[in-house]
Structure 1
Amino acid sequence: MSICNRNCCENKINSSYIKWLIEVLGPVILGSKPAEILNLSSKDMNKESKLNDIKSFFSNCSKLSYKIINIPDGGIRLVFINKDALSITLNNKKCLNFLKFIGYPSNYDLDEYLNILIDKLNSDNFPHEIGIFLGYPLKDVVGFMGYGKYKFCKTRYWKVYGDESVSDAVYNKFISDRAKIKVLLENNSLSELRKVI
């Protein structure tokens, strides 16, 4: 598995921000998490530099794509997407039915669903169904949105409702994939890492 099939990474080999970002995106790169959302604050003095690093590093990446959303306060919201993993997630009949129930088109199309989500992220009303796109268990998304009769249990990266074991398994896979990427980053340069994973 590779992060990128091209030589897009060579000029950012020593970027500590990109190394941190690759670690955070480990579960997305390895496919256990279909997407990740990150914010660059308007107050971040290095916002433009970080954004340039992201554009330089990921512009030719075949494994991940990303969307940039300008938010009203001057910050930037970035959505990183592993389309293969997201396709598997959204092809789950229960997830798809729930998205249709809350207004997504009845004819499923991955790009159209992503565009709807991005449009919602550009609006004033945050789309809480993003949890599905981020790989959280459907029961947790449904519970958080107030549908169903799931009881709140605890908070991980997200709020967990109903059977904790399902959420714990997903969470542990995310943590495991992030740790795998971290080890690879510690033992390889980014250009070497492309050859290893």
Structure 2
Amino acid sequence: MEKVEFYKSLQSMEDREAIKNFLVYNSSLVIAGVKPSVTLTIKKSPENTYESWIKYGKDFLENINLKSLCLREEKNASIILVYNENILKEHILKKENIEFLNMLGYKKEDSIYEYVQQLKERYQEFNCPHELGIFLGIPIDDVKDFMECSSKRCLGCGYWKVYSNYEEAKRVFKNYDEIREKTMKNIMNGTPIDKIIRNISFYNYNQIYI
């Protein structure tokens, strides 16, 4: 219910303010540094949301040191990857992750931008490729088990389907929920956007990530 009220409150805001608050809430886990990236769906109806994204959103993300890339343009929406370049690079270049991506046909690159571009190509070819989970910070064992339709029992679902290390995953989910809930409450209480960003930026990726 609270989330419904939150999105209703965005509709009453001026376009620039609304898109900033939309992006801060939906990218809060990346701003906090606990996820390397997230995907956002920017709907083209109502038109002002998409127009605000084009006019203000991209520059706003750049100003808070986040990158964005359109993975796919659809008739009714754009699918956007929002990422922290440094954290995503560190995550992708982990031995187990880079070997997995190479096995899927990703070319070895020095720039994280090139890996994101390859993801975009595969996203358009396969609709939503399973390795997207690697870019989103999902543990590789869970990505593989989901991808391979493993006979292993799913232990639970949260931000992803968990097949291993469920207690640790629940701890991560709890931290994710806390960040998102605090961000939403701050926005609804009228806290200035700069202060909200400062408040959620102290989280440490290496402490929260599995």
TM-score (norm 2): 0.73
Write the distance in 2 (CA, Å) between the matches of 1:13 and 1:42.
14
| Shift of residue 175, structure 1, vs aligned partner | 2.0
Given that residues 143 and 151 in structure 1 are in contact (C-alpha distance below 8 angstroms), is that contact kept between their aligned partners in structure 2? no
Q: 1:53 aligns with which of 50, 53, 56?
A: 56
Equivalent residue letter for 1:91? L
Q: Supply the distance in 1 between the matched residues of 2:198 and 2:162 (Cα, whole angstroms).
A: 37
Counterpart AA for 2:115: Y
Of the candidates 150, 157, 160, which is equivalent to residue 158 of structure 1?
160
Q: Deviations over 1:100-142 (max 9, x none)?
A: 2222124564222111012222334421111111111112211
Equivalent of residue 73 in structure 2, options 71, 74, 77: 71
Aligned partners of 1:113, 1:165: CA distance in 2, in Å?
31
| 1:133-163 Cα deviation digits (max 9, x unpaired) | 1111112211110176643222212222223
1:80 match: secondary structure = strand
Rate the CA distance shift 1:69–1:87 in 2: closer, same or farther, 3 A: closer
Whose helix fraction is larger, Structure 1's or Structure 2's?
A: 2
2:148 corresponds to which of 143, 146, 149: 146
Would the aligned equivalents of 1:139 and 1:150 in 2 still touch at CA under 8 Å?
Answer: no
CA RMSD of aligned residues (A): 2.8
**1:114 corresponds to:** 116
Aligned to 1:82: 84
Going from structure 1 to structure 2, the CA distance change for 1:157 and 1:96 (only over 3 Å counts) comes to same
Paired-residue identity, % = 23
Partners in 2 of 1:48 and 1:20 — Cα distance?
A: 12
CA distance in 2, matches of 1:184, 1:141: 33
| Structure 2 counterpart of 1:176, from 164, 174, 178 | 178
Q: What is the CA deviation profile of residues 37-62 of structure 1, one whole-angstrom value per residue up to 9, with x for unaligned ones?
A: 0112344443433322313422x425
Seen in structure 2, the aligned counterparts of structure 1 residues 23 and 42 have a Cα distance that, compared at 3 Å, is closer
TM-score norm. by structure 1 comes to 0.78
Could you tell me how far 1:78 is from its partner in structure 2? 1.0
Which range moves more in the overlay, 156-165 or 181-190? Answer: 181-190
**Structure 1 regions of 5+ residues with no counterpart?**
1-11
Do the aligned partners of 1:32 and 1:177 also contact (CA within 8 Å) in 2? no
